[in-house]
Amino acid sequence: MLITKDTDFETIATKFPYLITPLLEMGIKVIECGDVKWGTLGEEIEKLGLNVSEILTKLNKIVDEHGGPEKELNLNI
């Protein structure tokens, strides 16, 4: 399992950006006002009163289908 309740939003935005849309469809915002939110996925799920286990299962299924995290590309020019 790559995505856990302790996964922070910065990790999702940088390594799993393809999860942003599915999370939005579940009512979970990763980005607010153009910035990545602070905190963890679990904290937000609890705030919204959603089922942690169900959401983590769905997200990890998407990660498995996508082949894992995306490679970060850092260009220091």
Q: What is the 3-state secondary structure (H, E, C) of 3-63?
A: CCCCCEHHHHHHHCHHHHHHHHHCCCCCEECCEECCCEHHHHHHHHCCCHHHHHHHHHHHH
Q: Give the Cα separation of 77 and 62 in Å (integer).
A: 34
Q: Report which of residues 37 and 64 the model is more confident about.
A: 64
Q: Which of 73, 77, 72, 62 is nearest to 18 (CA)?
A: 62
Lowest mean pLDDT among 7-21, 22-36, 43-57: 22-36
Of the segments 3-7, 9-13, 72-76, which one has the largest average pLDDT value?
Answer: 3-7
Q: Model pTM greater than 0.75?
A: yes
Q: What is the pLDDT of residue 31?
A: 83
Q: What pLDDT, on a 0 to 100 scale, did the predictor assign at position 65?
A: 93
> Averaged over 15-19, what is the pLDDT?
94
